[in-house]
Amino acid sequence: MLEVVFDTNIWVNYFIKGQVEKLVLLVRENNLTVFSSERLIAELEEVLTYPHIAKYLSLPLEHYIAFHRNLTEVTGVLYAFRGSPDPKDDFLFDLALSAGASHLVTNDKPLLSLGQVRSVKVLSLSEFIQLINA
């Protein structure tokens, strides 16, 4: 079982492409535990209301948030990481480290440049899919 955190951009990508079923299959077929936090959910809610993103969503915001909550394990955060290229992203490492996640999956190039933070490997979605299909 892999324990992971998906960055907001991963969720948004699946949502705007209408690929929630594909995301469910990814998680269930690969026995993933996907962690979330109230901070990640708040960011997801905010991003999904941006007009340039909301126009691609076919369901009300509440459906996407409920889907996210149902597919993840929402956990508390114990760590206070400092060191992301963008300090606004530190919360992702707070979550990953607190939950004991082995991977942070993101398409954010500055985060990907970190490679690994303590025990958390930072991978793009395509790299992560290659890893679990290997």
- Tens of pLDDT, residues 51-96: 999 999 999 999 999 999 999 999 999 888 899 999 999 999 999 9
- Tens of pLDDT, residues 104-132: 999 999 999 999 999 999 999 999 999 99
Q: 38: alpha, beta or left, given left = phi > 0 and alpha = psi -120 to 50? A: alpha
- Tens of pLDDT, residues 3-49: 999 999 999 999 999 999 999 999 999 999 999 999 999 999 999 99
pTM of the model: 0.96
Residues 6+ positions from 42 with CB-CB distance below 8 Å: none
Q: All domains of the chain, ordered by start, with CATH? A: 2-133 (3.40.50.1010)
Cα dihedral: 41, 43, 47, 49 (round 10): 60
How far is residue 85's CA from residue 79's CA, in Å, rounded to a whole number?
Answer: 18
How far is residue 60's CA from residue 58's CA, in Å, rounded to a whole number?
Answer: 7
Cα dihedral: 103, 73, 38, 9 (round 10): 40
- How is residue 93 written in tokens? 């490492």
